[in-house]
């Protein structure tokens, strides 16, 4: 008999994607003819079209455009670049033309224009450069101005918080090498991250004996590979950087060539930290500032004690005031000796920064620090030398001022780089969404699997066939060549409901395969993948300056000269006031004169006005905001969006999964027969436990509540289980025929639906619930 009941679940979801859990052998045989069809299609003439697509805002937009294009007949490959608003399509003209592709993009809801002149395709490239040595907004403004002045550069953005530059340039006029030279000419070190050209880049660590002869052989062997564009060697850290076209070659080919060249003397692997170079640099910087700060404390604390504390302890005070030559005291000499390493060795970075800044006609915070501490230090040196040469001169030194200032500034810099380091945590978490390893399949001519090999996911190349087992993450963007499964794509779409995947369907790297084995062919790898594009979007958002930050940058241009002027005026006004008795003499400490008091005020104005906070507060807040948003699945396009967010008074959400947990649950049960609820769920769970559908899982989870005394309840055996796609399931449980599904399944099995049940179903649908 068929058992009738009704369970209501949150979310309006049909069982359209319901399918039995597939069981596949580990070494399947592909249907005959697949390889032949693909080969015959590739033998035809292939064309390439590039479209400008206006209106895309995120990877989900790019995904919808790509999916729509790939549904057309005769499409070999479609790649959508959301950052540059471009779509590149490889197609067979016998099946489809450019106009049809353009109309398809517009049907999705975006404005599309065919770019006819291929020269325009790369008229603007965006390269990213890491810049070492910037300390404040003035530094970043100087670099930005220098880059903007280069002929061929259309736009340059330099972010102090990320220590990176985004440069939009015309490759016909200027090369990225010239941009690096320009940065070095301004006194900073530039490291190329991406060129923006249609090239992938990888860094390999090569262990072995490096000689000029072996390097020449390696270079010639690598250059012989098709698609290799540029090779750079760094013998100090045994690193080889390669730029290449990913559709022609890949990292496994490079490693193979390196390891088989020159009597197999070399061992190559991906350079550690290659994908997280920024983090490596940041950690080094944090360690460096921490070390400098500790060393400065070693010298500064004794200087502080001898000038501020020991002077009030009678026995020690007498010893420190002992005269050596004329009026020169032991205490003053000790302070001079101890503060000198802090001033010139530990504080050398401030001199270097000030020199570089002044050499290019600008002034940064290093100039202020160097001026302030030098004023205190050299006046103190003058005071000590005068005391040593004069029998009656009694002066005061400020050695503790210069040493303590440098120590406090180093502490501030240490805390600053710590804060900047935390901002990139979210991007690191995004990158972690990709699996570390992948199972590479080797196929024969008929499509049969002849070998499986586990490799680093960064070694995946275009057109590789990858095996994805249940519960594993998809290793690369691609399309399904064999198998069927459900894939959780909430990482990209925000919709938690798993999407059914069959042969020919596209999959996205980093998404989760829920059941079933899939074999996919990789189409976009490395920097071209959807996950990499999301990371680039977040990085671009962090680079973009908020309006208030642009205002702060404008102020910082005039800030340092203004502070120097105010500092001089402060000293002059206090000095003149002291000379002409403009304030009571009781204001002057017994150990000072009016000149020294004025000097102290002047130095104070100079050193407390460092513009670090002015340049770092907003970008750090933007980076933390965009980073936390990205880790929560919210992509924020820069500081401007955050700054204007307080004006929002209405938010429209387009997906239920955005607001709900994305997991259906049973909320109500109505019995239409006089039966025990526990018995009903016992039978239903026994049938549904064999299904992988989200609603089936929700029913089984709810049924467990009736067996709270058992941790992992076992359900009665279900015989003759059948999953009816789009309708439900049926099985024989305890000699009863159990049918669980939607209304149409009941009708198909000639089960009369009572009027009461019809009313309950209508009421549930009105509440956006699903009736079973």
Catalytic residue (choose from 212, 654, 709, 720):
654
* H or E segment and range at residue 242: strand 239-244
Q: What are phi and psi of 543, to 5 degrees?
A: -75, -35
Strand extents, DSSP E, 459-582: 465-468, 477-482, 485-488, 499-501, 506-507, 512-513, 518-524
Q: What is the spatial distance between Cα 727 and Cα 140, in angstroms, rounded to a whole number?
A: 62
Which residues are within 8 A (CB) of 687 and not within 5 positions of it... i.e. 6 or more apart?
Answer: 718, 721, 729, 730, 731, 733, 738, 740
Are the CB atoms for 173 and 119 separated by under 8 Å?
no
Q: What is the spatial distance between Cα 664 and Cα 768, in angstroms, rounded to a whole number?
A: 12
Which residues are within 8 A (CB) of 492 and not within 5 positions of it... i.e. 6 or more apart?
Answer: 59, 60, 63, 508, 511, 530, 534
Strand extents, DSSP E, 20-152: 47-54, 75-81, 86-91, 111-115, 125-132
Are the CB atoms for 69 and 87 separated by under 8 Å?
yes
Tokens of 81: 């670049």
Q: What is the spatial distance between Cα 148 and Cα 471, in angstroms, rounded to a whole number?
A: 49
Tokens of 40: 């015959």
Residue 654 annotated among the catalytic residues of the structure: yes
Q: What is the spatial distance between Cα 187 and Cα 354, in angstroms, rounded to a whole number?
A: 10
Instruction: Name which of 313, 312, 332, 305 is nearest 321 in CA terms.
Output: 332
Tokens of 661: 């947990």
- Partners of 534 in the β-ladder: none
* H or E segment and range at residue 724: strand 718-724
Tokens of 746: 């009941």
* H or E segment and range at residue 768: none
CA 466, chain centre distance (Å): 25
Q: How far is CA 390 from CA 11, 335, 381, 382, 609, in A?
A: 91, 19, 14, 12, 37
Instruction: Name which of 550, 510, 517, 552 is nearest 532 in CA terms.
Output: 510
Question: Which are the catalytic amino acids?
Answer: 654
């Amino acid at each position: 008999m068929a058992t009738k009941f009704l369970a209501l679940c949150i979310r309006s979801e049909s069982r359209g994607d319901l399918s039995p859990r597939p069981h596949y052998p580990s070494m399947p045989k592909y249907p005959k003819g697949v390889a032949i069809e693909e080969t015959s299609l590739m033998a035809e003439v292939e064309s390439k079209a590039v479209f400008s697509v206006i209106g895309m805002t995120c990877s989900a937009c790019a995904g919808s455009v790509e999916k729509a294009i790939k549904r057309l007949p005769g499409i070999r490959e479609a790649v959508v670049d959301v950052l540059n608003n471009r779509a590149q399509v490889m197609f067979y003209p016998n099946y489809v033309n450019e106009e049809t592709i353009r109309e398809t993009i517009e049907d999705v809801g975006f404005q599309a224009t065919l770019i006819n002149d291929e020269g325009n395709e790369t008229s603007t490239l965006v390269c990213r450069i890491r810049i070492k040595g910037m300390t404040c907004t003035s530094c970043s403004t100087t670099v930005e101005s220098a880059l903007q002045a280069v002929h061929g550069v259309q736009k340059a953005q330099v972010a102090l918080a990320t220590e990176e530059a985004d440069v939009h340039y015309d490759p016909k006029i200027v090369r990225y090498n010239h941009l690096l030279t320009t940065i070095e000419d301004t006194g900073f070190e530039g490291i190329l991250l991406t060129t923006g050209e249609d090239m992938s880049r990888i860094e390999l660590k090569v262990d072995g004996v490096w000689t000029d002869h072996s390097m020449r052989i390696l270079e010639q062997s690598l250059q012989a590979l098709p698609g290799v564009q540029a090779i750079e060697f760094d013998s100090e850290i045994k690193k080889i950087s390669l730029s290449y076209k990913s559709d022609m070659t890949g990292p496994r080919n490079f490693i193979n060539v390196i390891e088989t060249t020159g009597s197999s003397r070399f061992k190559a692997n991906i350079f550690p930290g290659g994908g997280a170079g920024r983090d490596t640099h940041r950690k080094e910087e944090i360690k460096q500032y921490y070390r400098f700060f500790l060393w400065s404390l070693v010298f500064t604390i004794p200087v502080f004690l001898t000038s501020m504390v020991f002077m009030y302890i009678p026995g020690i005070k007498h010893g420190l005031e002992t005269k050596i030559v004329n009026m020169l005291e032991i205490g003053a000499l000790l302070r001079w000796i101890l503060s000198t390493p802090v001033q010139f060795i530990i504080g050398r970075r401030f001199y270097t920064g000030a020199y570089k800044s002044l050499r290019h006609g600008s002034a940064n915070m290093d100039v202020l620090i160097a001026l302030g501490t030098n004023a205190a230090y050299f006046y103190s040196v003058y005071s000590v030398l005068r005391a040593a040469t004069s029998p009656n001169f009694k002066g005061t030194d400020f050695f503790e001022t210069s040493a303590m200032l440098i120590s406090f500034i180093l502490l501030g810099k240490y805390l600053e780089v710590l804060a900047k380091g935390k901002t990139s945590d979210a991007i690191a978490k995004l990158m972690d969404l990709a699996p570390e390893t992948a199972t590479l399949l080797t196929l024969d001519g008929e499509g049969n699997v002849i070998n499986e090999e586990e490799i680093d996911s960064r070694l995946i190349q275009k057109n590789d066939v990858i095996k994805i087992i249940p519960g594993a993450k998809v290793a690369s963007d691609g399309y399904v060549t064999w198998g069927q499964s459900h894939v959780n794509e909430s990482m990209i779409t925000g919709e938690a409901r798993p999407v059914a995947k069959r042969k020919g369907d596209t999959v996205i790297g980093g998404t989760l395969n829920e059941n079933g084995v899939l074999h996919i062919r990789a189409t976009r790898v490395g920097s071209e993948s959807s996950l990499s594009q999301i990371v680039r979007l977040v990085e671009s958002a962090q680079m973009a300056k908020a309006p208030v930050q642009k205002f702060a940058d404008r102020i910082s241009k005039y800030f340092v000269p203004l502070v120097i002027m105010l500092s001089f005026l402060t000293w002059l006004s206090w000095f003149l006031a002291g000379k002409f008795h403009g304030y009571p003499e009781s204001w002057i400490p017994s150990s000072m004169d009016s000149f020294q008091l004025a000097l102290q005020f002047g130095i104070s104005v100079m050193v407390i006005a460092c513009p670090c906070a002015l340049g770092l507060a907003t970008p750090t807040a933007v980076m933390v905001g965009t980073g936390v948003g990205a880790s929560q699945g919210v992509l924020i396009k820069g500081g401007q969006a955050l700054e204007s967010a307080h004006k929002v008074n209405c938010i429209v959400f387009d997906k239920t999964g955005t607001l709900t947990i994305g997991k259906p649950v049973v909320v109500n049960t109505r019995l239409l027969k006089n039966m025990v609820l526990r018995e009903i769920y016992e039978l239903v769970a026994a049938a549904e436990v064999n299904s992988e559908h989200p609603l089936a899982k929700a029913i089984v989870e709810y049924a467990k509540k009736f067996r709270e005394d058992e941790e992992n309840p076992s359900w009665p055996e279900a015989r003759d289980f059948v999953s009816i796609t789009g309708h439900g399931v049926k099985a024989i449980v305890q000699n009863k025929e159990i049918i669980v599904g939607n209304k149409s399944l009941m009708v198909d099995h000639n089960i009369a639906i009572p009027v009461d049940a019809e009313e309950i179903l209508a009421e549930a649908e009105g509440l956006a619930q699903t009736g079973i």
